Amino acid sequence: MRILGIETSCDDTAAAVVDDTGLVLSSVISSQDSFHQKYNGIVPEIASRRHTATIIASVDEALFQAGMRIKDVDGIAVTYGPGLIGSLLVGVETAKGLAYASGKPLIPVNHLEGHVMASFLRDPGSDLQPLTGDDFPVLALIVSGGHTELVYVDRWLHYRVLGATRDDAAGETLDKFAKYLGLGYPGGPVVQKIGATGDPSYHSFPRVTFSRGGYEFSFSGLKTAGINYVKSLTSEELKAHLPDIVASFESAVVGELAGKSLRAARDLSPRTLTVVGGVAANKRLRDSFARTGDVRVYFPPMKYCTDNGAMIAYAGTRRAMLGVRAAIDLDACSSLGIEDSSLNT
């Protein structure tokens, strides 16, 4: 089985072809970073217009790289939520048109589920061994610009949310802190670059502890504390200690993510802990998990951490195996939760 996957939930237009073993036959991503940088954030209208301009070319290139035509695929998987509604609609309507014209099954995929499935992708250019069905139960930390949550996955396509952010996502927090400092967009990579030369113990930023325990996150207070601390400095102090301040802030975010994830792993004893989503590319986060021997920790290859079509295609193959199909009136859903897509398999 070979599935074409289409991903347009935010600001990257992506298409890929993946087979039912998780082998990535092609993966194409059209980035919009250059269109949003001057606004220091994603402009939804621009994002949807850029998707419209590049979606067909992205699909064509993904098929070409896989040595296939649309008639050769066994189904078309598409992200239908969550995400920016205008962006989602471009992908959904394109997939519906392709499915109708080609007679191929249309397979709906949750974007968050796609990130989890990135852990099972087989990259022909990498020696990294992906997860398999033998690695369940899996504890997944989904961490990106728009999402931060811990999900327990005991079998294929079955999800239980243990905890999520009550306010800002981790990636969003890094972006907003970088924006306030005037470091540019996207904030995550520039924070990592500047913070790499700094001392993460230079300043202690506050972290939230909920009285009832659990695995929920909160980054709004940390973001505010970071901005207020910067406001308290003179321009000379900020310039002299910028790498240290950035490293300290990044370390606080990472500490919150790793701390709760590892505590959940100790409490629930999953076979594997996987860290997925755009922030999973962060080196300090990867290093923080590398120092633990409590549980096997897996990170997908860097190129499958950020939004991509391959993760959607593979999620589509798992759903297609169980006969999941969408009607031609499939609609986008901007606020979809991962538990909404859980199957009682």
Q: Give per-residue pLDDT as tens, 57-77.
A: 999 999 999 999 999 999 999
316 is in an annotated binding site: no
144 is in an annotated binding site: yes
The number of C-alpha atoms within 13 Å of 195 and in the hemisphere containing its C-beta is: 29
Whether 292 has a pLDDT exceeding 80, the answer reads no
Known binding residue 175? Answer is yes
Same fold, 2-128+304-341 and 133-299: yes
State percent of the chain over pLDDT 90: 88
Q: Residue 272: its pLDDT value, please?
A: 95
What residues contact residue 256 under an 8 Å CB cut-off, 6+ apart?
170, 207, 208, 217, 219, 222
Query: Is the predicted pLDDT of residue 345 greater than 70, yes or no?
Result: no
Structure tokens at 277: 């989503």
Q: Whats the size of the chain, residue-wise?
A: 345
The reported pLDDT for the residue numbered 19 is 98
Please identify which residue in the block is written with the tokens 């079955």: 158
My answer on whether omega of the bond before 186 falls inside 30° of 0, hence cis, is yes
Query: Would you say 261 is a known binding-site residue?
Result: no
* pLDDT at residue 165 greater than cutoff 70: yes
Contact 205, 248 (CB under 8 A): yes
- Mean of the pLDDT values across residues 146-164? 96
More confident site: 293 or 78: 78
The residue whose two tokens read 């790498």 is: 243
- How many Cα atoms within 13 Å fall on the side-chain side of residue 44? 9
**pLDDT, position 212:** 75
Mean pLDDT of the 289-301 span: 84
Q: How confident is the model at residue 5 (pLDDT cuts 50, 70, 90)?
A: very high
Q: Confirm whether residue 146 is marked as ligand binding.
A: yes
pLDDT of residue 211 exceeding 70, the answer is: no
**Least confident window among 94-108, 249-263, 287-301:** 287-301
Residue ranges covered by each domain of the chain: 2-128+304-341, 133-299
* pLDDT at res. 169: 95
CATH classification code of 133-299: 3.30.420.40
Please state, in angstroms and rounded to a whole number, the distance separating the CA atoms of residues 13 and 51.
6
The architecture (CATH level 2) of 2-128+304-341 comes to 2-Layer Sandwich (3.30)
The secondary structure of the chain in percent helix, strand, coil, rounded to multiples of 5, reads: 45, 20, 35
Phi and psi torsions of 213, nearest 5°: 70, -135
Nearest to 275 by CA among 184, 171, 199, 192: 171
C-alpha distance from residue 172 to each of 153, 194, 219 (Å):
25, 18, 9
Report how far residue 162's alpha carbon sits from residue 270's, in angstroms, rounded to the nearest whole number.
Answer: 13
At residue 319, φ and ψ (nearest 5 deg) are: -70, -40
β-bridge pairing 148-155 and 138-143: antiparallel
**Mean of the per-residue pLDDT values of the chain:** 95
Task: List, for residues 168-195, the tens digit of each pLDDT value.
Answer: 999 999 999 999 999 988 899 999 999 9
pLDDT given at position 255: 95
Beta strands 106-110 and 75-81 are parallel
Residue type, 144: S
CB within 8 Å of 142: residues ≥ 6 apart? 112, 115, 116, 148, 149, 150, 151, 276, 277, 338
**Residue 228 labelled as part of a binding site:** no
143 is in an annotated binding site: yes
The strand ranges marked E within 86-217 are 106-110, 138-143, 148-155, 158-164
* Cβ atoms of residues 76 and 106 within 8 Å: yes
CA distance 293 to 290: 8
CA–CA separation, 187 and 205 (whole Å): 18
- Residue 38 has what pLDDT? 85
Lowest mean pLDDT among 42-51, 119-128, 145-154, 205-214: 205-214
